[in-house]
A = this chain, B = another copy of it.
Amino acid sequence: MLLRFGLNAEIVFNKDIAPEAANAVGAVVLEANELLFRRGVPAEVSENEVGRITDWSVSGNTLSIKIESGPYTRAHDAFLRFKKAVTPVMGKHRLGVRGIEVRNFSISMKGEIPKSAIPKLPMISDVTIEEDGIVLHLSLSLADLEKKLPDRLVKLVEEKIEAEAYGGKAEHWELLYESPKRPLHYDKNPSDELLKIGWAKHGASRGQWIFGPQAVELIRALETIAVEEIIKPLGYKEMIFPKLVPWDVWKQSGHAKGVYPEIYYVCAPKSRDPAYWEDVSDYYKVTGDVPVEMIRDRIEGPIGGMCYAQCPPFWPFVKGETLSNGCLPIKVFDRSGTSHRYESGGIHGIERVDEFHRIEVLWFGTIEQTVRTADLLHEAYTRIFDEVLELEWRCAKVTPWFMAQEGLVGVSDTSSVGTRDYEAILPYNGDWLEFQNVSVNGNKYPKGFNVKIQSGEECWSGCSGIGLERWTAAFLAQKGFDRSKWPESVLKLVGEPEDVFEFL
């Protein structure tokens, strides 16, 4: 895509710019165009692709500057370089910068750009559609230039064009392993049966279950198999990861790029003074209705959301640290709370819920260690699903979850980065249920949280989410409720089912 950037800005000084100071500006402009803006630009790049001050003038205390560029030393970058160069020169003339105003900033993009690729954002004040491309007119501050906002905007448009092109294509899915077929023991939807026999009931919120004692016995048995037969033997140590996730964590993990549609957002009270809340309490006591609008005025944020992906809130534990070679790969897991996703509507079984329990397995180290650790985990899962739980399942390489969550499809550029989905057949409807995954996330998290390795090698990480409701759904869908069909490994972990509740 052919890119052109244009900028008009004014630098306002503390007093009028005398002629000799204006002459000094002229010299800085010349040097900038000839040397400063060429720095770091390959020699073969032609002049009109590089940032250039095409006009300047002084009037009273104000220096006006016009810069144009192609993709090299882009107008905003050129302006910042010029500002840095001109400031000390003007200082010699006792001129101090009082303010900087970016008057116009435009980005011209040539090429086929679908309308859907043009973002709707408050800093885009106008869009001109031309025969061979578009021009974006931006309202930007100096801080926006410093944050390289124009570059990010270009990248966003490029991403949108790519997403549009991918639009029709399916997500990547490539079979890696398929287990032997298993005899059919059960052909009903186990969630219906769970409800019927009272082992579980719907919770009061959307996509939420309350599990009774008999169901929990099975869920905990499966958890025990995961922990005692897979996770601990492979040397993973238990940690406790937080479950309220503030924006900072999602900014560093990348989730802030696109996770918004599925988040349960969390807001904090503006004050914990009971007097501040007295009329809300009073309103409820008098009307019996919770005054949601009154509450909205008294809460701040959202400050973040409820746990979504489980591993991001671990990373502040190692943020900014360098780890010794000897302690790698780090292998830890967490099973200390719930995850919450705003799933698409309707009431589903226990396999598709807004609130669920997951064991999150996490590791990191060198590239080789990270890939090897993922493979070992895959081998252990294979053994457990085939020999211990005796499931009918398969494993596929899919679009990495973090790409999917950022609205991307396809596969990663690096072949060993990616997600393996584990799917079990649900005999009652013939669908394959994704019941867990293993992902090698490349340098995504270590880079986002600035984690380094003593040796200087690149740090990679991986994670694997074991969904306990999904393991349970897969197990019950295939094995049913007749315990004589359950594998010995599970049977020995559950007692005789006992009806704790007897309803009339």
Contacts and interface: CB of A to CB of B under 8 A. Distances in A.
B290 A327 contact: no
A388 to B, nearest CB: 22
Contact of A272 (B211, B241, B261, B332): B261
Interface in A222-244: 237-244
A324 B501 CA distance: 8
A256 to B, nearest CB: 5
Number of copies: 2
A265 B267 contact: yes
A330 B500 contact: yes
A337 B243 CA distance: 9
A286 B150 CA distance: 8
A498 B237 contact: yes
Interface in A272-294: 272-274, 276-288, 290, 292
A220 B238 contact: yes
A444 B372 CA distance: 56
A502 interface: yes
B268 A306 contact: no
A285 B152 contact: yes
Interface string A9-53: 000000000000000000000000000000000000000000000
A184 interface: no
Interface residues of A, number: 119
A295 interface: yes
Pairs of residues from A and B, 6 with the lowest C-beta to C-beta distance, nearest first: A213-B237, A337-B337, A211-B240, A203-B242, A324-B502, A327-B502
Q: Chain A: interface secondary structure? A: mixed
Given A257-B285, A269-B262, A276-B261, A219 B204 contact: no
A119 interface: yes
Contact of A284 (B217, B257, B296, B340): B257
22 contacts: A119-B279, A156-B282, A203-B242, A203-B316, A204-B242, A204-B313, A205-B242, A210-B241, A210-B317, A211-B239, A220-B238, A242-B338, A256-B290, A260-B295, A264-B267, A265-B267, A265-B299, A274-B407, A306-B306, A323-B501, A326-B502, A336-B338
